[in-house]
Chains A and B, each alone.
Chain A
Amino acid sequence: MGLCSMEQELSNPAIPTRDPAKSFQDMILTLHDFWAANGCVILQPYDMRMGAGTFHTATTLRALGPEPWNAAFVQPCRRPTDGRYGENPNRLQHYYQYQVILKPSPSDIQDLYLESLRAIGIDPLAHDIRFVEDDWESPTLGAWGLGWEVWCDGMEVTQFTYFQQMGGFDCKPVAGELTYGLERLAMYIQGVDNVYDLAFNSHGVSYGDVFLENERQMSKWNFEVAETGALFDLFAKAEAECKNALANDVPIAAYEQAVEASHLFNLLQARGVISVQERASYMGRVRDLARSSCEKYAEKMAPEWAEKYPEWSLQGQGASNG
């Protein structure tokens, strides 16, 4: 679409009500409204490249410790190996997750979640909503949880997890995490089979208008162009900087470098320059960085937390999944 028509549309401003069934951004805004009304802090995306919303410090680091924490945010996710040069209707190397973290997990968390689906236009008497067992584990973060994938007419639309451990520590209290796959949900609600055909807003801008060229170029860069020597170099630097930050007792900064290293590893994977044997060793290095950052963060904060919550203690490390 051309700029002219867009200006024309803008000259007739639409009524400022939201239409989540017809606009991707209205769906996001509706979720913001919903979770804001339910006491969540509405955050902006973390300003780093990451593979999943769970890496946002608002999820990982805030899942540690006794303090209540309720937040919602959109997180752009980068999965270099999922790039398809804009040619696959379902797969993207960059997409959005909507994250909600509620700590402690409220007893009506499932009802709240279902209410949010109603808010964006999914009627559970018209669509078959199901909670199907799906446990979550991230060895990188030393984390695991139990929960479900939520199905809507057979399609997975949300990952629903009760965090049990993070950074190797028991979550006390447990946080509930909801991760909505925004593009899938929107495709479902809008009745669209190709992600690029999604209406991004109600003014004629499609998801393709916004992201198609980005997918083409970034897929090419991820798979073909990125200079691998530089990536290896950056990985080593991020690793060194993470250790430097840990040594100087600033674990949040260390955690950022772990996230950076994780993404660089994903890029190296997409470039196909990490052999099967090396793969395990790189994953181990990323895991060490992320875990030590989480551990250091928890240990640094523990005295403050324990003072505010006398019934709380950091102990409980080592219990494992299963």
Chain B
Amino acid sequence: MADFLLELLTEEIPARMQKGARGELEKLFARELSASGIEAGNVTVWSTPRRLTLIARGLPTETQAVREEAKGPPVGAPDQAVDGFCRKNGVTREQLEERDVKGRATYFAVIEKPGQQVSDLLAAAIPAIIRDFSWPKSMRWGEASISSESTRWVRPLSGIVALLGGEVVPVVMDGISSGRETMGHRFHSTGSISIDGADDYAEKLRSAHVIVDHEERAAIIRDGAKKAAEDAGLVLVEDEGLVIENAGLTEWPVPLLGRFDEEFLDVPPEVIQLTARVNQKYFVCEEAANDGVNRLANAFVCTANIDANDPAVVVDGNRKVLAARLADARFFWELDQKKTLAEHAKGLERITFHEKLGTVANKVDRVAKLAEWLATEGIVPDSDLNAARQAAELCKADLVTEMVGEFPELQGLMGGYYAEKEGLSPEIAHAIRDHYKPVGQSDEVPTAPTTVAVSLADKLDNLLSFFKIDILPTGSKDPFALRRAALGYIRLIQANDLKLSLEQVVHAWDSKPDAALAEKLAVFLLDRLAVQLRDEGVRHDYILASRDWAGSVDTRIDRVEARARALSGFLATDNGANLLAGYKRAANILKKEEWEEGATNPAPEPAEAALIAALDEAEPKAAAAVEAEDFAAAMEALSSLRGAVDRFFEDVIVNAEDKNVRASRLSLLARLRDAVHKVADFSRIEG
């Protein structure tokens, strides 16, 4: 048994690619070993900006010898067949053995595969790993690149350390020879470092100012940044993405806290945080406040890659860069405020929303009209129609501001700030700020009435506009984020308990009815609803069973959901499950039989009479409950049928000899089926 160490020394690997590269190295190593019949076993993979390292513990030093036999053609077979057999097995004709198989002399090839040195296998595996390595982007370099076929790697590969049990595994690739020499930290270490093997590797590099374990570096940054903030009496705004990124940019991370000019705090905190994070990869800090609402502090934490002679010099350099960035941001902040949002909104006339759908200004007009309608009709309760209209008219204005041009992710948020600054009501400012919400699964859903009206109108306009020109998401392609808009719509109506018919929406949006468009959108939304509810255990077929209303697709998504949920609850009960079984039995019989409708049995059997009585009682109850959209009550009414149905099937022979009796019983079953269908279409329920 021996331990294997592989280090691929590289010019700086982009931080965002290191995690994938570790996975790739581990995967390819396992693939190469298993091709030689070796279990990769206990493997550790590390990365730094300059190296990828793999350590495999306890590899065998040689593989087992294998003896394989292959049965060939009978002796005396045509030469062609015998030669072919020899070629296939890599033996000469003289090496063939003759054996008796069921009385026939037959050729056999005996192939001895001797045990192989694992070192030799690794020497062949390493170039294969490098060659087959998949990077998001790769490049050629140096003298070898005079050929298009030269090795490709993420950045120039500069060295290979390959040691099995302390012995060098010899590899040569594009002029790079493997060895035991590697490099330490770019600035803290000079000359090369000689590695004995897997055991001294990490420690030797540590003394050369390289922490090879990416998780250890991440921990240093995570804890160090927190501590730096605490030491300054502040609270770090934690950001695991930044931790990982900085760990991917450093071999010897040293978090350092710096201060920036307090006057920049006039700029919204989100802008400062984004500037620091996106452009400079700095953490920001907050001042702990007594009211529990922390405020951004004029401090940042950068992560140096050196133990600087004088950390203050490094901090000061970083401070200056941040100050220049914040000065730009403040310039935008102030410049944007020289115009009102209404003035900015004029600029939307120049921006194309979609070539077939006009400008963003056109879109805003549609959204404003719809938002106003939602408020006027009381669909969004307590929303003021003027506020809704004004917020909608201004909701996209920030798209043409300098700040959003610089940081597109601040759309909405900046509009909200600018609205506040120009003295618009908080109600309008919040609606502008939050109208894109909810964006992701975990994003909060607006509940403020004006915000809800604008947000709904915006999502509906996106959906209807693209549906109208037949642009729908296909497979993984959803360039206009219509699935997200659909989910946003669903969550908005759920969180606010809104009852909204898409048929009416379409009428208001387009100033004319368009049942087909409403139905197309409803079907799409119900699909998204099914995906959302699946996680809660509400099955897709329950939604299908609840989908139709008065003979066509129900365009009230809320009503379908309420029904599907009631159905899901009902079918989980004993009554529900049994009624479903009875229904299916009835439906199956009805499918096969033919009879004259409207027949009555003058002398019904008791079970038959009981079912008629039960239906007489349940039908109006269920109908009233459905009318009142109290689907639980409707199901409850149905559940009262269960006993009568069960008894009917036990006691009554449907296929009676008397034609009239038979017809009357089939009619009764049809009545039962129809009664159930008025509550939900059980025929769509699977299983």
Contact = CB atoms under 8 A, between A and B. Distances in A.
A319 B137 CA distance: 12
A316 B146 CA distance: 11
Contact of B145 (A110, A153, A172, A319): A172
Interface stretch (B316-324, B468-476, B587-595): B316-324
B314 interface: yes
B12 interface: yes
B49 interface: yes
A154 B145 CA distance: 32
Given A124-B186, A125-B308, A152-B317, A174 B141 contact: yes
B158 interface: yes
A153 B318 contact: yes
B306 interface: yes
B490 to A, nearest CB: 35
Query: Which of A146, A148, A193 lies at the interface centre, i.e. has the most chain B CB atoms within 10 A of its CB?
Result: A146
A133 B318 contact: no
B344 interface: no
Interface string B245-277: 000011000000000000000000000000000
12 contacts: A105-B156, A110-B11, A126-B309, A129-B305, A132-B12, A135-B137, A148-B12, A164-B140, A170-B140, A173-B140, A173-B144, A174-B142
A158 to B, nearest CB: 13
Contact of B137 (A146, A148, A152): A146
A127 B317 contact: yes
A128 B145 contact: no
How big is chain A's contact interface, by range? 35 or more
Interface stretch (A18-26, A214-222, A232-240, A307-315): A307-315
Contact of B158 (A90, A107, A148): A107
A12 B305 CA distance: 44
Interface string A166-180: 000011111010000
Interface in B604-623: none
A247 interface: no
Contacts of A173: 140, 142-146
Contacts of B282: 154
B625 interface: no
Given A146-B137, A276-B350, A316-B148, A124 B306 contact: yes
Nearest to A322: B137
Interface residues of B, number: 48
Contacts of B145: 104-105, 171-174
A298 to B, nearest CB: 14
B308 A131 contact: no
Given A107-B156, A130-B305, A322-B136, A153 B314 contact: yes
A321 B16 CA distance: 18
Contacts of B101: none
A114 B306 CA distance: 15
Contacts, number: 124
Nearest to A176: B141
B317 A174 contact: no
Contact of A127 (B49, B139, B314): B314
B49 to A, nearest CB: 7
B443 interface: no
B142 A105 contact: yes
Interface string A90-116: 100000000000001111001000100
Interface string A182-205: 000000100001000000000000
Contacts of B210: none
A86 interface: no
A155 interface: yes
9 smallest CB-CB distances across A and B, nearest first, come from: A153-B317, A133-B14, A131-B12, A154-B318, A316-B148, A173-B145, A174-B145, A154-B321, A128-B304
Contacts of B137: 135, 146, 321-322
Contact of B306 (A125, A132, A133, A147): A125
A141 to B, nearest CB: 17
Given A129-B187, A154-B302, A312 B12 contact: no
A170 B150 CA distance: 12
Given A148-B12, A152-B317, A125 B142 contact: no
A146 B139 CA distance: 7
A162 interface: yes
Interface in B165-184: none
B155 interface: yes
Contacts of B421: none
Contacts of A106: 142
Contacts of A110: 11
A312 B140 CA distance: 15
Contacts of A176: 141
Nearest to A311: B146
A292 to B, nearest CB: 22
Contacts of A83: none
Given A130-B250, A154-B280, A173-B144, 8 more contacts: A106-B142, A128-B317, A128-B318, A133-B14, A154-B321, A154-B322, A174-B139, A322-B136
A66 interface: yes
Contacts of B442: none
Contact of A128 (B14, B148, B158, B306): B306
Contact of A162 (B143, B156, B280, B305): B156
A208 B310 CA distance: 32
B318 A131 contact: no
Contacts of A312: 146
Contacts of A155: 317, 320-321
Contacts of B188: 125
Contacts of B626: none
Contacts of A316: 148
B361 to A, nearest CB: 14
Contact of B249 (A126, A130, A188): A130
